[in-house]
Amino acid sequence: SQKTSELGLIVNSLAHELNNSLTIIKGNTQMIFEDLKKTLDIDATLKDEIKEIENAVNVCTNFTRNILNYARQYQYNFEQIGITETIKSMIDLTKHEILKSDIKITEKYEKNLSTVKASPQHIKQVFFNIILNSIQSMPGGGILEIEVSNRTNKNGRQFLDVKFTDNGIGMEKDTIKKIFDPFFTTKKNGNGLGLWICSNIIREHKGTLKVESKGKNQGTTATITFPSS
C-alpha cells in the first residue's frame, strides 16, 4: 500500500542518515583517542569510557543495519512508463478533493512524449503528493495547470519535464529553502515528510525536483525533470 511504501522509504532514509552520523562519531572517537595517547598518559578509566562509546556506536550500527534490511523489501522496481497515464490516474484519485475545493485542472501534454524508466508506485506517490499540496494551497478554489514536455539540453541529452503550477497561497523565499528538510511543515496537521520523501524518490530516478514561488499569494510551481529513456 502507499502508506506502507512511504513508511519503508522513511525508515530507509532515516537509517542511512543515522548510519552516516554513527560512522563519523566512531571515526572521530578513535582519532581523539589516538591524539590523547600522544600527549597524555591514558589511565584505565578513560580507556574504558572510550571503549564504552565505541561499543554503544557498534550497537546502534547493528540496529540501523537491521532496519535497512527491513526496508529493502520496499526497493524500487523500474520499468518503462508513460507519464501522461500516471498523472491522469492520480488526478482521478484526488477527484473528490478537487471537486470539493472548487479547483479547475488544465492539462497540456506535448505530442510524442518520451517514456521514462521509473518505479510506477513511487512516481504515483510523488504526483499524488504534489497534486494534493496544490489543492490544499487553494482553499478558496483556483486553477492547477499540469504541463508535460520533452526537452533536449545543449549536450543533446533528452529529458521529460513535468510542471505543476497553481495560483494558491505561494511561499516566501525563506520557506522554499526549508521545504525539502525532513519534518519541516507549514501545515497545521502536516508531518513535514511529504516533499522530503518526494525529493528522495526523484533522486533515485536520477531526476530533479524544483519548487518555485514568487512570494505570498503568488502561487507555486513544482517542476520534475526525468531523464528520457
Whole-number pLDDT of residue 37: 79
Whole-number pLDDT of residue 142: 97
Q: 3-state SS string over the chain?
A: CHHHHHHHHHHHHHHHHHHHHHHHHHHHHHHHHHHHHHHCCCCHHHHHHHHHHHHHHHHHHHHHHHHHHHHHHHCCCCEEECHHHHHHHHHHHCHHHHHHCCEEEEEEECCCCCCEEECHHHHHHHHHHHHHHHHHCCCCCEEEEEEEEEEECCCCCEEEEEEEEECCCCCCHHHHCCCCCCCCCCCCCCCCCHHHHHHHHHHHCCCEEEEECCCCCCCEEEEEEEECC
Same domain, 43 and 96: no
Same domain, 35 and 141: no
Q: Mind listing the pLDDT tens digit of every residue in the chain (229 residues)?
A: 555 566 666 777 777 777 777 877 887 788 888 888 777 777 777 788 888 888 888 878 777 776 666 565 567 889 999 999 999 999 998 998 899 899 999 999 999 999 999 999 889 989 999 999 999 999 999 999 999 999 999 999 999 999 999 999 999 999 999 999 877 888 876 767 789 889 988 999 999 999 999 999 999 999 999 999 8
Domain range for 115 is 79-227
Model pTM greater than 0.75?
Answer: no
Where does a domain end: 74, 93, 128? 74
Whole-number pLDDT of residue 7: 64
Residues 6+ apart with CB under 8 A from 80: 115, 116, 117, 229
Whole-number pLDDT of residue 70: 58
How far apart (Å, rounded) are the C-alpha atoms in residues 130 and 195?
8
Same domain, 66 and 162: no
Same domain, 98 and 190: yes
Q: Number of structural domains, the chain?
A: 2
Same domain, 131 and 33: no
**Are 91 and 127 a contacting pair, CB within 8 Å?**
no
Where does a domain end: 74, 91, 111? 74
Same domain, 19 and 97: no
Question: In this structure, what CATH number is given to the domain that contains residue 168?
Answer: 3.30.565.10
Where does a domain end: 48, 74, 100? 74
Same domain, 96 and 65: no
